[in-house]
Structures are given as C-alpha cells and as structure tokens.
Structure 1
C-alpha cells in the first residue's frame, strides 16, 4: 500500500533513525514511513543484497542508507551507530526490529536453536539499545528506543516457547530501561504485532484465511498497521510515553483462539 503525499507530515524532518532487520516486511515498512516523513534512515539487514535493494526502493521517497550486517554482533552494532553519526552528525531513533523465529517442541528443542533465538532477539536488541543510549546521552538531546515484541509474548502458542519467552523479555527490558534512561530524556517502548501478512507469512497459502477467521477485526495485520504504531511511538507526539507495549493484533490476544 502506498501512502498518499497529502496524508503525510514531516514529523521526522532532521531526525536520524537506525532500523535493524529491515530488508522486508515490518522493518521495511517502518523505514519507508520514516523516510517519507523526513528522516534519514539507516536500514540494516543481514542479507546484503536485500538491504541494498530495500534502501534503493526507499531512496526514491527519502534518504535511506543500506547498512548490511549481523545485528546480533556487538562490533557491528557499534559500527552501525557510528555510521549514523558520520552520515548526519547525530542519532535520534533506534528501532530493534531484527528477530528470528525457530519453531520446535519444548521437549526436544535444541540448545543451538534456543541460544540463537536469544542471541538475535535479546542480545541484538539489548546491545543496540545500549549503544544508541550512549550516543543519545553524549549528544544531550534525548532519543527514542523501540523494541519489536510479539503477541506470542502475551499468549502461549504451540512450538514457540523460546520465541515467546524472548519477546516477553523485551517488554520487561523496556520497563527496566525507564529507570535507567529516563533521566537522560530517553523514552523506550515496545510494539507487539500479532499475525501479520509479510513476504514470509504469505508463503503459507492458508495463513491469511486462517488469521482472518481467528482475528476479531476480521483480517490479519499488515506491515503498514505495525509501522503506523511504531512510528507513533518514536515520534515527538509520544515523548511522554515510556515503558509501554502497544499490541497490534486486531484483538487476537483478547480472545486468543488457537490456529
């Protein structure tokens, strides 16, 4: 879905944002919306070709720089924040969107799968927040952090014990950082999407019909739905909102029917 120019503001003019895991899906849509509303966006993805292609598409609408690399690697995270400062002189927004889902039954879930989920979903988010916060504090300008949780961090789902656990932990991290970072004018929030139609989920021919039936509002979410919530929480209009989680799931967690 394309945004009409007359519906867009310049809410992010002069802002610099880093978004991880943004080569497609929700992350891509967040980057596109930020760029179209005036931000300079550093778009990260572990797939270099995907990052370059995505940034190229967004660059037709606003300023977007491809930053391929592993967002769970501390050295890369440091370089990503440094590049944001090199590109524009400052950093204002950091969105930890990168994450992986490794399904598996609890009783035979492999250690390597468990630790990979934690490394990417928790480690990548924790240390991006840490590096970005250090830059915000150095600038003395405040800033906004946003984490990407999931409805499965609120309601149990088959074969997603490790994933759901990691997403719930991100919401608690945001709460703890209220204590640590509020004195510096930094707000930190979380978005928790429910079933969302992306390139990955579209590969399942039954996905849309199944979640349209299970979702009270009658359809699964779209990347645009989640991006709208994410961009609000990192906007100046949300500066007095911190430590909160906004669930974007069409009401699924209220009733929680199992697929």
Structure 2
C-alpha cells in the first residue's frame, strides 16, 4: 500500500490504536494531522512520527466540537494541500450499571463517539467532494457493537450506531468516490490495559487465537480499508478480534 500524496486526519491518536494508525500511515508516505485532546500527548506523538521521517502535524483539541472539527479539516488542507483519508478514532468508554447510569456520563459517551464521528465524517466528506478526487473514511466501532458486554450499554449503542452510519452513507458518499467503512476491534493491548495484570491472561484464555490484539493488528486492518486500492470496499464492518465474537465468552476473572 502506497499512501504518497495522501493526507489523513486521525483523531484520538496520541496513544494506542490511533497512534499506531497515524504512525503506519506516515511510514507509508501519508501526511498526517494527528489529533488528541491532550496537547502534550499530541505533540509527543507527532514528534515520535517526525523522528522516523514522517510528515505529521499535531493538532490537539476536542474532537466532539463541531467548530474544532472544521478547523482540523481546514488546517489539514492548508498544511498538506488536500484531504483524502479520515480515521474517526476518538472515543470514550464509561462503564456503568444500566439502572444507575447517569445522564452526564451518557452525554459524554454520545458526544464524542457519535457526534464527533458524525460531524467529522460530514465535514471531511464536504472537503473531499469539493476536491473531486474521492477519499476514504474509517469509523472506529467495537466488538461490543456486535455482542453484549456488562456495563457498556451506552458505549455499545454508539458503536453499533457507527456501523449503521457507515452502511447508510454508502448511498450519499459513493457518488463522490468516497468509501466509508468501520473497524471493530476486540480486546487490544494498549497503554490503558497495561495497568491490569489480569487483562492479557484473561483475554488470551477466551480468545480463539490465543491472545488479545496488538495495536498493530488493528492498524493493519485500518490501513487496508483506507488504502486507495480498497476504494471499492464500502459500507462494511471488519471485526478484528482473534475470533472472540464467534464464541463470545465473558471476560470473567481468573480462578
């Protein structure tokens, strides 16, 4: 896959899956606008990519804010000349019992996971339409958009909704040569899971492939879907979970 001449926006990319996607896009020639809510994290991530020789611009801010999203799109075009790839990776998980779940937590989850992804897709698609060169948009779903998981009613709802958004927008974006898909990661080792010593043992035991995903596993799938060679794939959701959704045992603690 060759991403020379491609410009990408990747949100929530300071660490974890988002960073791996941004890094791999830059390694393969793309110019990347890297977003994260934390300015220090965004700058450090962009610097790491730049040190490898990649073209990367840090752009910290709230990826659920529509005016900020427009600024991201405008800045990417001003800095790199076009916009051809968007990865709406920014998201938040707030666990909670459904019967006790609070409106404030619900709003945070919906604002970032749905509002942010929806309007990033909209504003990026407008830019791609104006350029008349097509483009690729990738939404970040989850296996819990396919299978029930305790404590994640609100989060799971948003992830299932993103997959429906990808399917629905085939009708509206295909005439402009824009494809849109979703990736649904399963359990993945990231900086956030390192503090849990039970995470890898539990998910290794209940995942048919014998281990949780790495961020590179997810990034590989993401790059496949946004590559110019994959433009005829659209409206699809690619599950990357080592087979977990085929059997779906719950992640209960070790005996």
Tell me the TM-score range normalised by the shorter chain.
over 0.9
Q: Corresponding residue for 2:226?
A: 234
Q: Corresponding residue for 1:177?
A: 169
Point out where structure 2 has 5 or more consecutive residues left out of the alignment: none
Q: Do residues 94 (structure 1) and 92 (structure 2) align? A: no
Q: Do residues 54 (structure 1) and 45 (structure 2) align? A: yes
> In 2, distance between residues paired with 1:41 and 1:56?
12
Deviations 1:157-210 (A, max 9, x none): 000000000000000000110001100000000000000000001111100000
> In 1, distance between residues paired with 2:84 and 2:6?
6
* Match runs of 1:153-168 below 5 Å: 153-168=145-160
1:236 CA displacement: 1.4
Does the residue aligned with 1:95 lie in a helix, a strand or coil? strand
Q: Do residues 77 (structure 1) and 69 (structure 2) align? A: yes
Q: Do residues 37 (structure 1) and 37 (structure 2) align? A: no
> In 2, distance between residues paired with 1:187 and 1:52?
30
Structure 1 segments (4+ residues) deviating >3 Å:
none
> In 1, distance between residues paired with 2:55 and 2:132?
24
Which residue among 90, 110, 114 is the counterpart of 2:102? 110
Q: Do residues 218 (structure 1) and 210 (structure 2) align? A: yes
1:88 CA displacement: 1.3
TM-score, normalised via structure 1 length: 0.96
1:60 CA displacement: 1.6
Q: Do residues 28 (structure 1) and 24 (structure 2) align? A: no
Does the residue aligned with 1:23 lie in a helix, a strand or coil? coil
1:125 CA displacement: 0.2
Q: Corresponding residue for 1:205?
A: 197
> In 1, distance between residues paired with 2:16 and 2:117?
18
Q: Do residues 119 (structure 1) and 114 (structure 2) align? A: no
Q: Corresponding residue for 2:248?
A: 256
> In 1, distance between residues paired with 2:86 and 2:184?
16
1:105 CA displacement: 0.3
TM-score, normalised via structure 2 length: 0.97
Q: Corresponding residue for 1:191?
A: 183
> In 1, distance between residues paired with 2:127 and 2:229?
22
> In 2, distance between residues paired with 1:81 and 1:68?
13
> In 2, distance between residues paired with 1:124 and 1:217?
33
Does the residue aligned with 1:158 lie in a helix, a strand or coil? coil
> In 1, distance between residues paired with 2:110 and 2:155?
8
Does the residue aligned with 1:14 lie in a helix, a strand or coil? coil
- Number of positions where the alignment pairs a residue of Structure 1 with one of Structure 2: 250
RMSD: 0.6
